[in-house]
Amino acid sequence: MSGQCALGREAEEGVAVGKLDGKVALITGGARGQGRSHALRLAGEGADIVTVDICRQIASVPYPMASSEDLAETVREVEALDRRIVAREADVRDSSALADVVAQGLAEFGHIDILVANAGIFCFGNKDASDDEMFRDTVEVNLVGTWNTLHAVTPHMIERGQGGSVILTSSTQGLTGRGGDGTGGAAGYTASKHGVVGLMRSFAAHLAPHMIRVNSVHPTGVDTPLVNNDFTVKLMEERPEIADMGVNLMPVDLVEPIDVSNAVLWLASDESRYVTGVTLPVDAGFTIR
């Protein structure tokens, strides 16, 4: 009751109360796309941000990846919301680099309450890379990178003893196999996103006694540079059967990053304080089509 009364007084006095006031969120892949959208949505609700992005090209990825300038823009936009941010260039495949970023975030803010493991790549259809390269790079970034991120952050959540929320970005391809053609990039993406679900469930069980919740989000195609780029558009024109496999049940070609960010915010906030081990689709009906 006292908390409700205090909240009421703050509202009456015109003091903005964010859902994440006093929280710190670490977000991987934060230079653009879904990662930047998540950073801005959480910052808009009061969270300070720690974010990382590789900011260089991986050879097997056929579309342009995020740049240092993209990461700098995320910093500007978070700071424009009057929130603090630590942003570093780091590869989620490099566990020691991630540990350094976490240490910097803890030195700046003292704690990390929310983890959004969002970094990911999609190597489908790259004729300049072998199936083996595309498969291995995709699994290393999407799955091993998520593993590295969990191990870099969650021990500090446990040690602090204040609970927390972990959100892992999977995909509709982590719930179905629809859309694959057996090639290295497609199979690697589906396998890695299913693997993320396995990590989510394993860590949900492991961390529940510490009041740390672990869930995954499963977007359909999202209007970000990973999907909406010249290479992918041309590929879909050349191979319409692939585009057809990705059709949603609702008449929506792509969802917007904010649609996924709203789900991430809910999972990060106390509004979902007893929700853990959940695979949450944001998919316009893709998985039930």
Domain harbouring 185, CATH code: 3.40.50.720
Instruction: Give SS3 for 12.
Output: helix
Please give the pLDDT value at position 232. Answer: 84
Structural domains of the chain, count: 1
Q: What is the mean pLDDT of residues 101-122?
A: 98
pLDDT above 90 for 34: yes
In a domain, 287, yes or no: no
In a domain, 253, yes or no: yes
pLDDT in tens, 253-285: 999 999 999 999 999 999 999 999 999 999 999
Give the type of residue at 284: A
pLDDT above 60 for 239: yes
pLDDT in tens, 54-95: 999 999 999 999 999 999 999 999 999 999 999 999 999 999
* CA–CA gap between residue 47 and residue 149 (Å, rounded): 19
Please give the pLDDT value at position 9. Answer: 36
Contact yes or no for 212/150 (Cβ under 8 A): no
Given pLDDT bands bounded at 50, 70 and 90, which one contains residue 16? Answer: low
pLDDT in tens, 148-180: 999 999 999 999 999 999 999 999 999 998 766
Strand partners, 88: 52
Q: What is the mean pLDDT of residues 129-139?
A: 96
* CA–CA gap between residue 81 and residue 266 (Å, rounded): 19
In a domain, 10, yes or no: no
Given pLDDT bands bounded at 50, 70 and 90, which one contains residue 237? Answer: confident
pLDDT above 50 for 188: yes
Please give the pLDDT value at position 13. Answer: 54
Please give the pLDDT value at position 177. Answer: 83
Q: Mutual orientation of helices 95-109 and 145-160 as an angle, nearest 10°?
A: 30
Contact yes or no for 276/214 (Cβ under 8 A): yes
189, 192, 195, 212: the catalytic one is 189
Please name the residue that has the structure tokens 């694959």.
180
DSSP line for 147-188 = HHHHHHHHHHHHHHTS-EEEEEE--GGGT--TT--SSHHHHH
In a domain, 7, yes or no: no
Enclosing domain of residue 225: 18-282
In a domain, 289, yes or no: no
Nearest to 44, CA basis, from 222, 216, 217, 261 = 261
Contact yes or no for 185/123 (Cβ under 8 A): yes
In a domain, 191, yes or no: yes
Nearest to 189, CA basis, from 126, 128, 247 = 126
Strands in 114-117's sheet, in edge-to-edge order, are: 85-89, 48-53, 24-28, 114-117, 164-169, 212-219, 279-282
* CA–CA gap between residue 55 and residue 30 (Å, rounded): 10
Q: What is the mean pLDDT of residues 103-119?
A: 98
Active site residue 189: yes
* CA–CA gap between residue 20 and residue 22 (Å, rounded): 6
Please give the pLDDT value at position 29. Answer: 98
In a domain, 37, yes or no: yes
Record the pTM: 0.93
Nearest to 116, CA basis, from 246, 255, 186, 20 = 20
Percent of all residues in the chain with a pLDDT value above 70, rounded to a whole number: 93
In a domain, 12, yes or no: no
Please give the pLDDT value at position 236. Answer: 79
Please give the pLDDT value at position 185. Answer: 85
- H helices of the chain, in order, are 2-12, 33-44, 68-80, 95-109, 131-139, 145-160, 184-207, 230-238, 240-245, 257-268
